[in-house]
Amino acid sequence: MKSIYRINSFFLICNLLLFIVPCFGLLAMIPLGIIQLTTAIGISLTFYRKINFELKKMLKIYWLLVGLDSLYIMLYINIKKSHYDFYEIIFFAYPMLIACYFVYVTYRINKFINPKEE
């Protein structure tokens, strides 16, 4: 679990640094999303029975946020764009907030699974 947290943190930090050039940051969101989704599936299948109620709740919130983001993306594609950039801000900021939340969730699960490690 410790390696999952470290890999997740590494890719998130790399992605945030790549946002110095926005085009690179946006492209780096794709592999970050793939890595986080596969990691979340693995955690849900492997560690779900081992973690406490609070961590299960955090994992469920993560999946809810991912589902809402997927719904928003589908709606965004089907709705005509307005003259405001608000939709684009949400379109790119929301997944990064979810990614940050998932790194926090993996940190908490890692601390629960490996309480003696720092």
84 pLDDT more than 60: no
> What residues make up the domain containing 61?
2-113
Please check whether residue 58 lies inside any domain of the structure. yes
Please check whether residue 118 lies inside any domain of the structure. no
Please check whether residue 18 lies inside any domain of the structure. yes
Please check whether residue 65 lies inside any domain of the structure. yes
Please check whether residue 60 lies inside any domain of the structure. yes
Number of separate domains in the chain = 1
Q: What pTM, to 2 d.p., does this model score?
A: 0.87
pLDDT, averaged across the chain: 88
Whole-angstrom CA distances from 42 to 87, 88, 89, 106, 110 are 31, 30, 30, 12, 14
20-40 pLDDT, tens digit per residue, is 998 898 899 999 999 999 999
Q: What is the pLDDT of residue 76?
A: 74
